Amino acid sequence: MARKTLTIFVLVLLFGTLLGCRPEPEVKGPKLGTKPPSAGLPVYHLAVHPLHNPAKLIQAYQPLIDYLNIRLSGARLTLEASRDYATFEKKYQARTPEFLLPNPWQTLQAEKVDYRVIAMAGEPRDFKGIFVVRRDSTVKSPADLKGKPVSYPSPTALAACIMPQYFLHSHGIDVNKDISNRYVGSQESSIMNAYLGKSAAGVTWPPPWRAFQKEHPREAAELKVIWETEPLVNNSVMVRNDVPAQVAAQVRALLIGLAGTAEGRFILIGMETARFLPASDKEYEVVRRYISRFERDVRPVEMR
C-alpha cells in the first residue's frame, strides 16, 4: 500500500513539473521594445512625433521600418515613439535620434541643431487643422466658443493647434482670454474630449481623424467636422548631419518610391499618408513666416 501511494505521488509530481515547463503563449500585437537584428550593422533610430499614442504609432509605422530594413544596404532602422510632444521635442533637442518625422514647426527647431529635410511625409493639402464637435452641439460659429473649453494635443502642434488658433483669431476670438485652451497630450484625446463633452470643440488634423473614424465608428458617428483651416506644408522627414550620406540617400529614395509599389501603397494606407515627396529645408521657409505672424498676433509657440 505504501509503495502504491509513493508511485501515485511521484506521477502527480512529474505531471505537475511537465505542466510547469510548458512555454508561455506568445503575446500578440506590437512589441514596443523590439529592435531589428543588426548583424553587426549600424542601427539608426527614426523618431516619429506623436501622431498617435505609442502603441498605435508603432502599429502604423513598423511596417514601414520593416520595408526599409529589407532594402537598406549597410544599415538598419528602428522605430521610436514618444508619449507626448514634449518628450519628442526633448529627443531632437538632445540630437538623440538619427532620423526624425516632425511636424513643420518642429522641423524649424530641429534645423537649429543640425538636422536637415530629405522628404515631405504626405500631400501639403492634407496638412490643415479641423474642429470636431458633437452632432448635437449648439456651436455654429467661432463666437459660440466664447467662455467654453477647446481641446488640442499640444501647444506646439502646428496643424492641430497653432493653425486652428490663428483661424479663431482671424474670426475675432482672443484665444488667450475668450476660450479655455486645454492641451490634452494626443490627437485621440483631443477628439475624445469633444465626444465626451469635456470640450466644446476638439481640434485635430485629417490623418488622426480618419484613423479615429475607422477604429471608433460608433463614437465618430456622433461627431462632425465644423470648420477647417487653410493647408500649409506637411510633416517632414529629417536626418542628423552626422549620418553617412549614402544611408540618408537610400532612405530618401526608398520613401519617395514607396507609392510606386503595391506593398508600399499598402503601408502608406496604414499610415494615413498619401505618399512621400522630395523636399528640402527651403520648402519649410513658409512655416517660418507663418509662425512669425502667429507669434506676433496670437501667442508664443513655446508656452512657459
pLDDT tens, residue by residue, 174-197: 999 999 999 998 999 999 999 999
Q: In the predicted model, is pLDDT for residue 75 greater than 70?
A: yes
Q: Beta partners for 59?
A: none
* Grid-cell match 508656452, residue found: 303
Of 185, 200, 228, which marks where a domain is finished? 228
Residue 246 confidence (pLDDT): 97
Q: What is the CATH number of the domain that holds 185?
A: 3.40.190.10
Of 204, 228, 252, which marks where a domain is finished? 228
Q: How far apart are CA 36 and CA 64, in angstroms?
A: 13
Q: By C-alpha distance, which of 95, 118, 119, 93 is closest to 106? A: 93
Q: How far apart are CA 230 and CA 39, in angstroms?
A: 47
Domain membership flag for residue 9:
no
- Regarding whether 121 and 53 lie in a shared domain, the answer is yes
Domain membership flag for residue 32:
no
Judge residue 246's burial from the number of C-beta atoms within 10 Å of its C-beta, 0-12 exposed, 13-18 middle, 19 or more buried.
Answer: exposed
How many structural domains comprise the chain?
2
Domain membership flag for residue 290:
yes
Mean pLDDT across 5-26: 38
Mean pLDDT taken over the chain: 89
Domain membership flag for residue 15:
no
- Regarding whether 108 and 257 lie in a shared domain, the answer is yes
What residues make up the domain containing 149? 129-228
Domain membership flag for residue 7:
no
Domain membership flag for residue 205:
yes
- Regarding whether 51 and 117 lie in a shared domain, the answer is yes
Q: Which three cell numbers stand for residue 159?
A: 496643424
Domain membership flag for residue 37:
no
Q: In the predicted model, is pLDDT for residue 208 greater than 80?
A: yes
Q: Beta partners for 152?
A: 183
Task: Please tell me whether the overall predicted TM-score, pTM, comes out greater than 0.75 for this model.
Answer: yes
- Regarding whether 237 and 212 lie in a shared domain, the answer is no
Domain membership flag for residue 14:
no
Is the distance from CB of 235 to CB of 192 less than 8 angstroms?
no
Q: Which three cell numbers stand for residue 253?
A: 529614395
Buried b (16+ CB within 10 A) or exposed e, 40-52: eeeebbbbbbbbb
Is the distance from CB of 291 to CB of 108 less than 8 angstroms?
yes
Q: Beta partners for 237?
A: 119
- Of the chain, the percentage scoring pLDDT greater than 90 comes to 82
Of 228, 255, 274, which marks where a domain is finished? 228
Q: How far apart are CA 22 and CA 294, in angstroms?
A: 61
Q: How far apart are CA 201 and CA 223, in angstroms?
A: 10
Q: Which three cell numbers stand for residue 300?
A: 508664443
- Regarding whether 275 and 237 lie in a shared domain, the answer is yes
